[in-house]
Amino acid sequence: MIDLSCTLGRLQLRNPVLVASGTFGYAKEMAPFVDFAKLGGVVPKTVTHAPRAGNRPPRTVETASGMLNAIGLDNDGLEHFLTHHLPYLRTLPTAIVGNIAGKSEEEFVAMAARVHQSREGLSALELNLSCPNVSGGTDFAIDPKLTKDIVRRCRDVCPDLPLIAKLTPNVTDITVIAKAAADGGADAVSAVNTFVGMAVDWRKRAPILGNITGGLSGPAIKPLALRAVWRIAQLKAIPVIAVGGIATLNDVMDFLVVGATAVQIGTANFYDPTASVKIVDALPSAIESLGASRVREITGTLKT
Binding residues: 21, 45-46, 69-73, 99, 128, 166, 192-194, 218, 244-245, 266-267
Cα–Cα nearest to 132, from 171, 97, 92: 171
Q: Which residues are annotated as a binding site for FMN?
A: 21, 45-46, 99, 128, 166, 192, 218, 244-245, 266-267
CB-CB contact of 69 with 133 (8 Å): yes
291 CB contacts (<8 Å, ≥6 apart)?
none
Q: What angle do CA 110, 156, 119 make, to 5 degrees?
A: 65
Binding residues for substrate: 45, 69-73, 128, 193-194
Residues 243, 222: Cα–Cα separation, whole Å: 8
Which of 253, 180, 249, 258 has the alpha carbon at shortest distance from 224? 258
Peptide bond into 162 cis (omega under 30): no
| Residue 297 three-state SS | helix
- CA separation for the pair 170, 8 (Å, rounded): 24
| CA atoms in the 13 A half-sphere facing the CB of 248 | 5
Helices (H), 75-189: 78-80, 86-89, 105-117, 144-157, 174-184
Between β-strands 262-265 and 17-19, what pairing exists: parallel, antiparallel or unpaired?
parallel
Is-catalytic flag, 131? yes
Per annotation, catalytic residue among 6, 131, 154, 158: 131
Cβ neighbourhood burial of 225 (10 Å; 0-12, 13-18, 19+): buried
Half-sphere exposure of 41 (CA within 13 A, CB side): 30
Active site residues: 131
